[in-house]
Every structure is written in structure tokens, then in C-alpha cells.
Structure 1
Amino acid sequence: MLVSDKTQRVGVPRYVEIAITFLLFAYPILTLTVAGAVNSIFFLLFLISVVVLLFDVWPGTATPTTEDCSTDPLSERAAWLYFLSMAALPIAVFISQWANHRWGWNYYDAVSRFFLSIPIFFALRKIPAKTLMTIWPGFIVGALVACGLAVWFPHNWGGGDNLARVGSSFVNPIHFGDIALTLGAISVFGIGCRGIVRPPGEALYNLVATLALLAGAYASILSGSRGGWIAVPVFVLLAYSINYKKISLITLNFGMLFMIVSAIFIYAFIPEIHHRIDMIPQNFHAFYQGNENTSIGIRFQLWKAAFLIFFEHPLFGVGMGGFKALMGPMELSGQLTPLAADFGRQEVHSELLSRLSQLGIVGFAAIIAVYFVPGWLFWQRLRASDPASRASARMGLVLVCGFFVYGLTVETFDLTMTAAFYALTTAVLLAAAYPKNLRIDRQSCLVS
């Protein structure tokens, strides 16, 4: 039988769509340049999304989609998986607080962004993917602006060596470099999104997107954030895994040779890279000679402390704030040097180990879900029929893989800004990857 005798109209008013499009274009540009911008835009989109969901069916014309209109690309199981993955961290924090009797509303500040991004995802699914993908030019401009900020308006945070560690006035070099690199990588992975531009404009967009990658990478270099550079080979492997069927053996060999030569050239002629890379074996040598107060040595101490805390509190962890509270006792017992304890009072220097030590197995499972559930959902849409959905899936995988790598050596979600950026970008790109079926007519939609 027919689903309906009329075309079902599901969408948002044009003026709401324009407002959302403007916000999506703006926030990647403003994230590193205007303090509080990403959080402000996040909450604006949250409020708009709540209104859209409350008034589910709007009058107006239906918006066509290239997907088979008889099916929704998002299954009920996938929708629940996304919901649970974004709710997991706030729930884990509550369970750990209840178990440890260590209460505090401030510990929900950053993790609440994940939960609040849920209505944003479901509301934005009502907007066509090619419209949502206007976020792609925002990423491109954002990477270029980040590079310009690092070059012409640098804020030197220092770093204990002779080279500057560049960030912005409100973002430290580690997060600045990581987000700048992410903006650039997402830009180049968006190439091929024909829903935004068509030839001859497509070639120009692709060129500018490539320049955005170089700009984001250079901003990351100026930041001196070595932990973020580990993501570069991951992005290369991701690009290969997505396109391996299209790559000939000759192209693969040429590409590998080009990357090796480029890496040697970059190491030889860019002092920031040369200096920061040379410090790694120096740090290891000093550590094994008994000097634990190097950059790497301090991290090793804090990671060891995190594991010790986890082994004593495996299920629910020691509670949010518990790691910092234990720095003093662990210093007095000789498990940490005074300098490492001071660093530990700031952060664990690992997102995964922070959750493992403070929230236990429950929290570790939650943070893994934050990465791997969206990653799995993006991977499922790499072969979508809609070019915009395919592009958003590629861009989403860059986001997830990048933040997972960054989180190995720094706490990524202890700041509301970084949590909001990840949660919002995940929601937007997933909405573009899984656009809601907006056209149901009698010619093509029969219920089997």
C-alpha cells in the first residue's frame, strides 16, 4: 500500500535553514580566533534544534534526496548507538561521583556538550546534506585564518626551549595546533563534494582546500605540538584505506616516495620540526639516565600514576578531580617528582588515561564510545550514493581519528571549547552523512 496519497513534507523553514547555514560556516572560522565563539554557536544551534524537533513537520515544499526515498539511511539501532555514545560520558561521570561521593557540577560542564549535541544531530538531519556541507568552506577558511593568526598575530606561550610555542590568546599551543591541523585535514578530505560547487568552480575549491591543508599543517608546526603530528601518518593511511581500490601500484609507490622526500625536506629545513623531533631521543636518553623531568619523562610518570590509580579503583575510578587530589600524596611517597606532580595538578596528559583513572572501566568504555561509534557510523557511509554524504563521511573520519590520536598524549575534552568543537562537528557531519528521507511520493515509495 502507499505510505501517503500526498508528498510528505518534512524539513525546516527557509529562514531557519539560512540561519543554520550561516552558523555552520562561521564556527570553524571563529573557533581559534574569538574566545567563546564555538560554545556560543553550539548553544544557538542547540536551541534552534530543540525548536525544530518540537515542531517536527513544517509547512513547505519537500526537499529531494538522492537516497532511496523508501528507506532511511539511519537505522533505529544506529540512532540508539549514537544517542548512547553521546550520553555515555555524562552518565559515567554521574556513576563515578555516586560511587566515590565526590560531587561537583563543574565536572559536567565539558561532557554536557556531547549530550546536548544529540538534538542538533537529529534536527540537522532534516536539512539536505549539500546544504549542511556549506560547513566545508568554513573549515577551509578556518585553516587559512588559523595560519594567518599564527604567522602575523602569534601568541607565544613559551615551552622551555629556544623556540616559540605559538597559540592564540585563549587557546594553548597544543590545542591550537591540533585544531588547526584538523581544520586543514578536513578541508582536503572534503574534496569531491559536488553538492557545494561544480566545474569550473570545483577545481578552484579543491586548490584552496589543498592550500588550507598546508596552512593548517604550518600552524600546527608553529605550535610545536608533537602529539598532533602523529596524526599525519594516520590521515595518510586513512586516505589510502578509503581510496585503495582507485590507486594503482605506480601511484602508490610514487606517493610513498614523495612523502618520504617531503618528510626529509621538512625535517631538514623547518627549524621548529627539526628542534622538536631532535628533543625526542634526547628526552628518552635523559629519562633512562635518571632525569625524569623532561617532557616525555613527566608524561611517563603521570601515565604510570594513572595506571596505579586505576588498579586501586578499577570499576568507577577515583572520581573526577581525584587524580589531581592524589598528586600530593604520590609526590610525598616518591612515586612522582615535584615537577611531575605540578603538571599532574593540571592534567593527566592523556584523555584515555584520564577517564580510566578517574572514571574506571565505565569511563574508559564511555570515551571509547565517543570515538568509535561516530567513527563506525561515518565508515558505513563512505559508499553513500549522495556525493555530499560521502564527503561528510570522509571528513568525519578525519575528525574522529585526529582527536583519538591527540587524546593519546593530551586531555582533549577537559576544555568546553574542544568538547563543543568535537561534539558539534560530529553532529553536523553525521547529519550530512545520514540525511533524513525528505521525499515520499506515490510513484516511488511503496511499502513492501
Structure 2
Amino acid sequence: MNLNRLVRWVAITAIILSATLMLSMKGGVSYCFFVIFALAIIYLASAENRRYALVILCTHRLYVISMSALPVVTTFQVLVLHEGRLAALDPMLRLILVIPIFLFLVSLPAYLLRRIEWGFVTGALLTGVWALYVLVNPSAWQQPGRLGNSFINPIPFGDTALLLGFLAVTSLDRNTYVNGIELNLKILALVAGCLASYFSGSRGGWIALPWLIWVALSRRRWIESICSRIIISAALSVCLMLASIAPLVRERFKEIGTDLYKLEHGQVMTSTGQRLKLWQASLQLFVEHPIFGVGKGCLEPALIMLADRGKTPRIIANEHAHNEFLSILAETGIFGTISLLLLYIGTFRLFWCEREHKNTTISTAAYLGLALVGSTVIFGLTIDVLPLVMNSTFFALISATLLATIASQKRELALCLHSNKTRICITTNKPL
């Protein structure tokens, strides 16, 4: 179980860079993923390490099952039933390939795994820097009035930037004392992430704000005082008021009402109108293909066929349903939907059960996990999250890192407790 110091630092550097480069470098998170995966395979080549990994697998059966179910269903559908596109397997397989990574990361010290927090900070700060750069260089806009970049469109860009900002501030230790420099950096990262999200105009991602705020503030000792609660309530009220009068926010939400009005009068050519029709068509496809769906990655041709039969407007044909659950329902049927629910509920439960742990490293990692899983579910209401390789890779790697932090810290606490008991027994000359 003793790892070479260089291997440890390569792994931790890759973990930090995975969050740092998420929105700044195309393929950055995948490169980091496979570096750690290679280290995990080398680690598991040892018989002693495999024996320890088997114990971890038995202890974390729920995590293994949760991460494996959807990839297994998708693989069966594509390779056995020959329904679906082979390329659609790539993002799904990241979920199951992270299991060896998790087994490797559990062997690392918890204090090293906690360094992931600085990946969140730098990742969020870079999105803020990009937002400011685009503001002063109008030619850099990828889409007029909507912030994104050359390899990701505004919706997932804004959602991920918001998540990185809140992960940065949620990673603050739930203790009475926080270093001033660290506090300022993480608050700045939160502001940067929110700024990038604002200019992306990703209104679907803003729905996750209440959840992310709750996760960031929960079980903070300093928030127990009435004075702190008044200050926080006032600050949130001011932010809400400023957001409500911000031109971009008002414009984006006003568009919903306008789009619905046009839809009532038979005009489908609006963002909201096309999305609602797309959701209806996805449900229709599920009714026609309830068991295994139309095939992973085959939503667009299935919608075109549906349109040819006169059951939906052809203009809505899209490779994604702009709703994670409806896409899975249409493409993989009831088995895929159950697997998706297992993925989210299983990972959510693992972190939820540890959120009140007395050890702050464990409770902080648990709240970070809740922020990750909860926001992914909420983002999935208005966009397909997991079909994007970078998103599925990020979800898999960060959830594995946070769960490994919890497992590693528990192991260290158990060793410390055993060591103290041994010391007491030696002193008192009593058997263990």
C-alpha cells in the first residue's frame, strides 16, 4: 500500500488539473482522467494492493453498482442488441472506468486528496478571467450575447462555471477558523464562477442556486449566531434584488413568457416552444419503445422518423432532448432510466449519510459530493449532462475523489484509534 511519493504527486496534480482545465482546455479533464487511470492499473498490478482493493469494493458496493449500471445497460444495448451508436458508449464507459481509479485513490492520504479544492478555485477563477476578456474583446464571443468558448456552448459552460464557483466556497473547512487568504480566494472564485454563469445566460443552471447555497452554508458553526444569519439573509436578499434587475436575467426570463405565448398561437420556432415539443416527442418515443428505447445516440434519426409520420414538427429533431431523464427514457427505455436513477440516488445517498460526521474533512467532502450530484441532477432538467464526455468524466472523477477522501480519512482515524488503544494497553499492561 506504500506508494512512491512521485506517483502520489502526479496523481494529485492530475486531479487538481482536471478541475482547473475543465472549461479552459479541450480534452483537459480526459487527459487527466487517463493519467490517473494508468496509475491505477499499475497500482492494481500488485497482489497486495488487489487484496486491499477487494475489501474496498465490498465496503463500497453501492458506489460500484451505481457507477456500473448505466454503462452495462448501454453496452448491452449497443453491442448485443445492435441498437445505438458505438460513439455513445464513450461518455458512459467513463463512469465504470473510474472504479479502478477510486480503488487507487483510497490508498492516498486524505490530506493530499483534499487538494482538489484548489482545482475548483483555479477552474472558477479562469472562467471569470475568460468572461472579463470576452467583455473587453467583443470579437471573442462565440455566440452573440452568450458566454461560451470554442469547444463548449453557453449552457454547459455556464452550468459548470457556477458549479466550480460553489465547489470552491463549499470546500472551506467547516470549522470555527478559516485562513483569511484562503477565504478571500474562494469567495473570489465564487464571484468569478457566478459572473461566467451570468454572461452565459444559462437560466436552467440558475435553478440550482438554492441547492448550491444550502450546501455551501450548511453546518457552518459561525452561521449559528443570529447576527451571522441576519447578515447572510441581507446579503442574499441584495444579490436576489440585483439579479432581478440585471438586464440579462430579466431578458432571459421574459423570453420564457413570450415563447409560451407564441406556442399557444401555434408558433413552435422559439427556444421554449421547441424544447417542450422535443420533450413531448421523447415521451412518444418511449411509449413506442418502452424496454430498451430507440438506441443510445439515435434520438435524432428517431425524431425525424416520427416527424415523417406527422406526429411531431421536423424542426425539433435533435441529438439530445435537452432533458437528461427524457433523453435516457427515449434512448434506453425503462432499463436505462432505472440505471440513471440508481446512479444519482446511489451516489447522493453515499454523501448524504456522511454530511453530519464529526470529522470536518469527511463532512466537507460529503457536502462537496452533495453539491456535485445535486447540481448535476438539476442541470439535467434542462440539458443532457452525461452524454458530453467532459461532463461524464468530470462527474466520475470528482465523485470518486471525494468518496476516496472520506474512505481514506476514515481509515486514518481507525488507525489512529487503534494506535491509541495499543499505547494505553502497553502502559496499563492489559490485552487489547
The separation in 2 between residues aligned to 1:190 and 1:245, in whole angstroms, is 15
The answer as to whether partners of 2:123 and 2:164 remain within 8 angstroms in 1 is yes
**Are residues 38 and 375 of structure 1, via their aligned partners in 2, closer, same or farther at CA, if it must alter by over 3 Å?**
same
Corresponding position: 1:85 with 2:85: no
The answer as to whether partners of 2:17 and 2:29 remain within 8 angstroms in 1 is no
Letter in 2 for 1:111: M
1:319 to 290, 295, 307: 295
Aligned to 1:120: 101
Aligned to 1:68: none
Aligned to 2:83: 102
The separation in 2 between residues aligned to 1:366 and 1:48, in whole angstroms, is 28
Letter in 1 for 2:338: A
**Are residues 242 and 199 of structure 1, via their aligned partners in 2, closer, same or farther at CA, if it must alter by over 3 Å?**
closer
The separation in 2 between residues aligned to 1:47 and 1:215, in whole angstroms, is 33
Q: Measure how far apart 1:393 and its partner are.
A: 1.1
Aligned to 1:38: 29
The separation in 1 between residues aligned to 2:107 and 2:421, in whole angstroms, is 20
TM-score by length of 1: 0.85
The answer as to whether partners of 1:293 and 1:340 remain within 8 angstroms in 2 is no
Report the structure, 1 or 2, having the larger helix content: 2
CA-to-partner distance for each residue in 1:39-59, whole Å, 9 max, x for gaps? Answer: 01100001101212222658x
**Are residues 11 and 374 of structure 1, via their aligned partners in 2, closer, same or farther at CA, if it must alter by over 3 Å?**
farther
The answer as to whether partners of 2:131 and 2:199 remain within 8 angstroms in 1 is yes
The separation in 1 between residues aligned to 2:56 and 2:400, in whole angstroms, is 16
CA-to-partner distance for each residue in 1:45-99, whole Å, 9 max, x for gaps? Answer: 01101212222658xxxxxxxxxxxxx9x98665111111111111111333367
Q: Measure how far apart 1:103 and its partner are.
A: 5.2
Aligned to 1:19: 10
The separation in 1 between residues aligned to 2:300 and 2:119, in whole angstroms, is 37
Corresponding position: 1:409 with 2:382: yes
Q: Measure how far apart 1:235 and its partner are.
A: 1.5
The separation in 1 between residues aligned to 2:411 and 2:218, in whole angstroms, is 29
Aligned to 2:142: 157
CA-to-partner distance for each residue in 1:342-393, whole Å, 9 max, x for gaps? Answer: xx2x311111111111111111111112222111111122133432222111
SS in 2 for 1:437: helix
Q: Measure how far apart 1:33 and its partner are.
A: 1.0
Q: Measure how far apart 1:286 and its partner are.
A: 1.6
Q: Measure how far apart 1:156 and its partner are.
A: 2.5
Higher relative contact order (CA 8 A, sep 6+): 1
Q: Measure how far apart 1:232 and its partner are.
A: 0.6
Q: Measure how far apart 1:312 and its partner are.
A: 1.6
SS in 2 for 1:434: helix
**Are residues 76 and 105 of structure 1, via their aligned partners in 2, closer, same or farther at CA, if it must alter by over 3 Å?**
closer
Of residues 98-107 and 312-321 in structure 1, the stretch that sits farther from structure 2 once superposed is 98-107
Unaligned runs of 5+ in 2: 426-430
The separation in 2 between residues aligned to 1:309 and 1:239, in whole angstroms, is 39
CA-to-partner distance for each residue in 1:254-279, whole Å, 9 max, x for gaps? Answer: 644542332121221x3222221221
Aligned to 1:63: none
Corresponding position: 1:392 with 2:365: yes
The separation in 1 between residues aligned to 2:74 and 2:202, in whole angstroms, is 29
The separation in 1 between residues aligned to 2:105 and 2:56, in whole angstroms, is 16
Aligned to 2:428: none
**Are residues 83 and 235 of structure 1, via their aligned partners in 2, closer, same or farther at CA, if it must alter by over 3 Å?**
same
TM-score by length of 2: 0.88
**Are residues 76 and 51 of structure 1, via their aligned partners in 2, closer, same or farther at CA, if it must alter by over 3 Å?**
closer
1:364 to 334, 337, 347: 337
Q: Measure how far apart 1:336 and its partner are.
A: 2.5
Q: Give the count of matched residue pairs.
A: 413
Aligned to 1:47: 38
Alignment of structure 1 residues 27-426 onto 2, 5 Å: 27-55=18-46, 57=48, 79-97=60-78, 100-102=81-83, 104-153=85-134, 155-158=140-143, 164-192=145-173, 202-239=179-216, 242=219, 247=224, 252=229, 255-268=232-245, 270-341=246-317, 344=318, 346-426=319-399
Letter in 2 for 1:380: C
The separation in 2 between residues aligned to 1:246 and 1:264, in whole angstroms, is 22
The answer as to whether partners of 1:156 and 1:166 remain within 8 angstroms in 2 is yes
Q: Measure how far apart 1:397 and its partner are.
A: 0.9
The separation in 1 between residues aligned to 2:35 and 2:56, in whole angstroms, is 28
The answer as to whether partners of 2:85 and 2:298 remain within 8 angstroms in 1 is no
Q: Measure how far apart 1:242 and its partner are.
A: 4.8
CA-to-partner distance for each residue in 1:370-419, whole Å, 9 max, x for gaps? Answer: 22211111112213343222211111111111111111111111121111
The separation in 1 between residues aligned to 2:84 and 2:385, in whole angstroms, is 22
The separation in 1 between residues aligned to 2:291 and 2:242, in whole angstroms, is 48
Q: Measure how far apart 1:324 and its partner are.
A: 1.4
Q: Measure how far apart 1:297 and its partner are.
A: 0.9
The separation in 1 between residues aligned to 2:172 and 2:420, in whole angstroms, is 34
Unaligned runs of 5+ in 1: 1-9, 59-71
Letter in 2 for 1:157: Q
The separation in 2 between residues aligned to 1:296 and 1:336, in whole angstroms, is 15
The answer as to whether partners of 2:56 and 2:103 remain within 8 angstroms in 1 is no
**Are residues 76 and 413 of structure 1, via their aligned partners in 2, closer, same or farther at CA, if it must alter by over 3 Å?**
closer
Q: Measure how far apart 1:251 and its partner are.
A: 5.2
Percent identity over the alignment is 30
Corresponding position: 1:437 with 2:411: yes
The separation in 1 between residues aligned to 2:306 and 2:221, in whole angstroms, is 49
Letter in 1 for 2:141: N
